[in-house]
DNA sequence: CGCGAGGTTGATTACTCTCAAACGACGTGG
DNA sequence: CCACGTCGTTTGAGAGTAATCAACCTCGCG
């Protein structure tokens, strides 16, 4: 197996090789298993998905519908959009399918049609930090394609997900004909920048508990009051650890702000949620925590 | 003076009023002094600056030169740029002149010609966090104007500064005629977003000392090895406090990586700088710290 | 020469990360 | 259908970083 690793090493940049190693360590998977997984996923994806042929018309309609729901494509020329449909690929991806790694070449502009995709980054120490969870109508890769850069983050589906892929060069042609699309991207990037800075300040001024509440509130506004996310993802979004999330959540549960089920959180009292974010740690005894 | 405050209050949004109060507290200045300062600055600025008239040609040449150094204007139509000069205002601003507050309407697109401007935000608890220090050729407000939003941060000159102001609507006209400018903004915003996310991760994984070193390194690349910034600004850029910066700097001084003068830092050994960032706090006795 | 802003250093406090252990839920394969 | 392993959740204990508070020093300026 050393031979395989050596062969890989000569074919990858040191950064890419580093990422691969980290990935394996963080997923506690051997390199060979990891490669096997990649290959099997690639083999099942590369050819066009099965449901082409008779359904082709339906899929095209579906893609057009998706385009219309996609904020970034607002104001684009409809005939250009129709041309875009012709080069778009509609793919079904399983849960935990890796979309890209840090430093990967941007090959596609992605639009989520169904399901959820997590965009995140791994620190040298192995901690993961989520940038965003993308759902229907949201896009990925646009900014980096316009920028002419490589991917700066990793992306992975967190449930079975369908998305539309548009090859990079087709997207560049399309966007150069539709300046409004660039403007939309610019607005999106600006908003993300501001959000990120606010999050940064929140990390430096708020407690971890407050950040968890902020994350829950934000997710509630996007996905409704029942959130099917596990502690790890909420931790990655809040910039903390799953243990801290668990502590915050049990506190909120005892306050009556949320209800917990295995793998999901239901927010039953948003006001309590934001109000009862008192600084509580293990030393400050939590009222009602004794059974 | 209560009457004045009341009159102000009815004319400002509560957010703006809040900001005003915080500003006064943080600068430990009374509201009346603050207003007097604002008025005097406004009176001296509003009319066109003195050096118009004979020098008008020179100033126009200077503005064109500035435009050419400005990355965001790369690829713009030269004749449109010349038209832009006609509506541009060249202003001289003193040190500590406040350019805008959070939630202010974006009135201008700013291009720095000389001097330095700090873009920052104040947390509810009063701590300040710097987003960036802008120097010649850098711009401010473009993203927010395209976005159609209010300012999300504060901006202040940190030394005597000259800048070119372009009224918002003129800038919008100009950019709509020059899609490349929007593309440039989009690229800039994407880069700032990525930088901000990396900074966020750095806060969650690195020690404060490491972040100070990162800040110094970044500043060195931009401004050379002698940095005329005080501890407070370095702290705001690093997301820490001036005390922590002082501790980090004395450590680096003892390592021989930097030299300290009152109000400035000289980096004499960049390699040591990045290497000697061992985790050191007051308990871990610093070798060589005894005189 | 005194004042004020900025720089330095010390002591304390507390938040939360890390490590650890135990338990519950879920899916798979026998 | 049950045993098992894995993953997610929960809770505890300990330790370390850095913010805060406080005091003192230093420089530059009038």
**Per-residue pLDDT averaged across A163-176, rounded?**
97
Do B218 and B130 touch, CB atoms closer than 8 A? no
**Which region among A170-184, A264-278, B19-33, B152-166 has the lowest average model confidence (pLDDT)?**
B19-33
Closest by CA position to A84, among listed A176, A149, A161, A160: A176
Whether A221 has a pLDDT exceeding 70, the answer reads yes
pLDDT reported for residue A6: 52
pLDDT band at residue B279, thresholds of 50, 70 and 90?
A: very low
Identify which of B263, B199, B260 has the alpha carbon closest to the alpha carbon of residue B233.
B263
A213 vs A208: CA distance, rounded Å: 9
Report residue B154 CA to chain centroid gap: 8
Could you tell me which residues are beta bridge partners of residue A111? A139, A164
**Closest residue to A203, CB basis, from B179, B194, B204:** B204
| Angstrom distance (rounded) from CA B269 to CA A202 | 34
The count of C-alpha atoms lying within 13 angstroms of the C-alpha of B266, restricted to the half-sphere facing its C-beta, is: 6
Does the structure show a pLDDT above 80 at B56? no
| Chain A stretch 102-121, residues whose beta carbon is closer than 8 A to a beta carbon of chain B | 121
Nearest to A260 by CA among A236, A231, A235: A231
Given CB atoms, is B186 within the 8 Å cutoff of chain A?
Answer: yes
Q: Is the pLDDT of residue B280 over 90?
A: no
What pLDDT score does B72 carry? Answer: 97
Tell me the average pLDDT across B1-20: 55
What is the per-residue pLDDT for A275? 73
Residue B290: predicted pLDDT:
30
Nucleotides of C under 7 A from a protein CB: 6-12, 14-20, 25-26
Condensed to tens digits (0 to 9), the pLDDT of residues B86-124 reads 999 999 999 999 999 999 999 999 999 999 999 999 999
* A190–chain B Cβ distance below 8 A for any pair: yes
Comparing CB atoms, the residue among A127, A143, A204 nearest residue B190 is A143
pLDDT number for residue B274? 76
- Residue A6 structure tokens: 């050596």
pLDDT (mean) for B251-270 = 91
Q: How does residue B281 score in pLDDT terms, banded at 50, 70 and 90?
A: very low
pLDDT, position A289: 32
Q: Where are the beta strands (DSSP E) in chain A?
A: 89-93, 98-100, 108-114, 117-122, 128-134, 139-140, 154-157, 161-167, 226-227, 258-261, 264-267
* pLDDT over 90 percentage in chain A: 68
Angstrom distance (rounded) from CA B237 to CA B212 = 8
Q: What pLDDT sits at residue B270?
A: 83
CA atoms within 13 A on the CB side of B93: 29
pLDDT at residue number B29 = 55
Cβ atoms of A240 and A165 closer than 8 Å? no
Could you give the angle at which helices B231-238 and B208-223 cross, rounded to 10 degrees? Answer: 110
Is pLDDT above 60 for A277? Answer: no
State the pLDDT confidence band at B12, using cuts at 50, 70 and 90.
low
In this prediction, residue B161 carries a pLDDT of 94
Name which of A48-52, A214-218, B70-74, B135-139 the model is least confident about: A48-52
pLDDT, position B67: 97
Distance between CA atoms of B111 and B126, rounded to whole angstroms? Answer: 28
| Residue given tokens 């600006």 in the structure block | A190
Q: Which residues of B touch A127 (CB under 8 A)?
A: 204-205
The whole-number pLDDT of residue B289 equals: 31
Summarised one tens digit per residue, pLDDT across range A242-270 is 999 999 999 999 998 999 988 899 999 88
B129 — phi, psi (to 5°)? -130, 120
B197 touches A at CB < 8 Å: yes
Q: Which of A9-18, A25-34, A169-178, B248-257 has the highest mean pLDDT?
A: A169-178
Q: In terms of CA atoms, which chain B residue is nearest residue A239?
A: B204
Above 50 in pLDDT, residue B83?
yes
pLDDT at A199 over 60: yes
Supply angle C-alpha A21, A27, A30, rounded to 5.
60
B165: DSSP letter: E
Q: Is the pLDDT of residue B272 over 80?
A: no
User: In chain B, whose CA is at the least distance from the CA of A145?
Assistant: B187
pLDDT in tens, B70-79: 999 999 999 9
Q: How many angstroms separate the most distant Cα atoms in chain B?
A: 64
Interface contact A189-B190, CB threshold 8 A: yes
Q: Closest Cα partner for A218 from A118, A112, A116, A132?
A: A132
State the Cα–Cα distance between residues A208 and A214, nearest whole angstrom. 10
Inter-chain CB pairs, A–B, below 8 Å: 106
Using the structure, give the distance in angstroms from the CA atom of A178 to the C1' atom of C17, rounded to a whole number.
48
| pLDDT at residue A9, rounded to an integer | 56
Nucleotide nearest to A283 (CA to C1'): C14
- Confidence at residue A39, expressed as pLDDT on a 0 to 100 scale: 46
First-last CA distance in chain A: 54
CB contact under 8 A, A190 and B239: no
At A240 the three-state DSSP class reads coil
For residue A193, list chain B residues with Cβ-Cβ distance below 8 A: 143, 189, 192-193, 196
Compute φ and ψ for B118, nearest 5 degrees.
-100, 130
Give chain A's mean pLDDT.
84
CA torsion angle for A167, A173, A178, A182 (degrees, to 10)? 70
Residue B134: is its pLDDT beyond 90? Answer: yes
């Amino acid at each position: 197996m050393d031979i395989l690793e050596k062969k890989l090493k000569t074919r990858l940049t040191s950064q890419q090789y580093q990422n691969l190693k980290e990935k394996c360590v963080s997923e506690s998977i051997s390199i060979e298993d990891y490669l096997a997984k990649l290959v099997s996923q690639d083999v099942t994806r590369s050819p066009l998905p099965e449901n082409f042929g008779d359904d082709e018309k339906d899929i095209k309609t579906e893609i057009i519908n998706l385009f219309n729901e996609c904020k970034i494509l607002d104001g684009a020329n409809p005939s250009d959009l129709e041309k875009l449909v012709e080069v778009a690929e509609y793919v079904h991806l399983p849960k935990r399918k890796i979309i890209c790694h840090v430093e990967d070449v941007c090959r596609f502009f992605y639009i989520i049609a169904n399901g959820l995709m997590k965009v995140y980054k791994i620190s040298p120490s192995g901690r993961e930090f989520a940038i965003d969870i993308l759902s229907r109508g949201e896009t990925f890769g646009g900014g980096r394609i316009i920028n002419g850069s490589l991917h700066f983050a990793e992306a992975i589906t967190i449930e079975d997900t369908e998305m539309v892929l548009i090859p990079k060069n087709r997207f560049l042609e399309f966007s150069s004909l539709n300046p409004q699309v660039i403007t939309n991207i610019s607005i999106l990037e600006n908003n993300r920048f501001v959000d990120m800075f606010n999050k940064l300040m929140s990390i430096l001024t708020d407690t971890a508990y407050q950040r968890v509440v902020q994350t829950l509130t934000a997710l509630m506004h996007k996905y409704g009051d029942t959130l099917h996310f596990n502690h790890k993802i909420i931790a990655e979004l809040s910039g903390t650890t799953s243990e801290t999330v668990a502590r915050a959540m049990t506190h909120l549960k005892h306050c009556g702000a949320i209800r917990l089920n295995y793998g999901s959180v239901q927010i039953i009292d948003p006001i309590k949620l934001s109000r009862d974010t008192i600084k509580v740690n293990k030393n400050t005894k939590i009222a009602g925590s004794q059974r």
